[in-house]
Structure 1
């Protein structure tokens, strides 16, 4: 753009120079000569009508106006780059690989969402990975997966909670030798004196409490299989949603429905810095499948 408009190259040059505070290093990062850096800066300063950078033989520094310009320009430029990237991705369609983590069971609703997503975006492959019961958010934070389907609640400031779905009645898993094993259902109050297996760290305390309300001391586990093994040994009981209970059924464990507990609910989460067009499109598929 000419005249009084904006020249993106001038803005890029200013941003890099503001980081490096060195014309030579700025030129190296931009793959241009040091003199070209000076030319672009001078053109921007003429367009602005004031000096943005002070240069002496000893140092390069931003003027007060340059500091203010940098503070306001940087987030706007970052968003502009993101807009271009998102539009380019939309123009090309959703491609590549979407890595999905899941807790407990990849049930019919999740598989239905994956199938819908694949039909709409055949150029994007999906990989599904089970994540540990006791680490619902770690895989997303580490970048091992692009998004994860996890048990709620989620109160992590660095994560986005997307579509919520698959609300299911809770059951309590007990040994076939347990006093509850012959019951057709239980009231929540009857669990007050029953040790309930919880998750170990790094699951947050609020998340552990939601899935094993405070009661008598009980073991803590990292995986569902560890928990069910302890249940089978009659060491404690464990709360599980109905589909997970059905999936992990075994002869030495009984799953008894519990009345009066909040339903177990799944939600899709991803990192705030890791939102891509693939993630957004899968979130739409999950939301549509949950309707």
Structure 2
């Protein structure tokens, strides 16, 4: 498998930031170990795609890689030196740099050794002059049920090395929100800290509830007799069913509000509301008594309207 991050993602150096993100997401979906539990190579493909994305998503590290200053693992490359660089230097300058001669600077020699070790993938920490490197962040995708996202929950993800990691979903987590797990990314080099695990959450749709900010939206199908006469009904909420009073004369499209039955606000004990939109339900085949009553009622209203119109004309 190629270590060139562009080849890993199937891109060229002309790729835009959007191209890089799109290519990574495509590979993450097609190679995630959770989705391909029987494919032993999925872990390697997923890990390679994550490492490539971590290097190319940052404009600074991407520019340094393109310039040859760092390798595909983000390690420093030794500076390139050519004989022509020394053409105008003092006599024997080139020869002295090649070995540990009388005038050699040993700290430069050791620095070159350490740079080579870093380029080969090894970490280093050489006394007070040593350098440590933080590990790369690793990106993951996680799909969460709607109620687990709004109420909070705990689940598990599979890391790039195949290990399982418990993840707490905070109450009120939104679609496309990124959760950060400190120190759960790639290990650092030379005693440097590990990177973080960045988990992008996709919230599944719910058959009854929708979210708008901290409010929950739902629809209530109401029999037309309850809409006309009013009623006490039971309404589902994200925290369980509650009672609600329907005022007489309620019509389709009217929105009733259940205070504090929405999503808990971040950093607060309060919560949003649940807004319930009424949809009046009319029976497809009313029973004979109801049909007879409505027929008589309609004729009576029509007669009253004609009588009112005649009085107005006479006046």
Bigger Rg over Cα: 2
Q: Which has the higher helix share?
A: 1
Taking structure 2 as the reference length, the TM-score comes to: 0.23
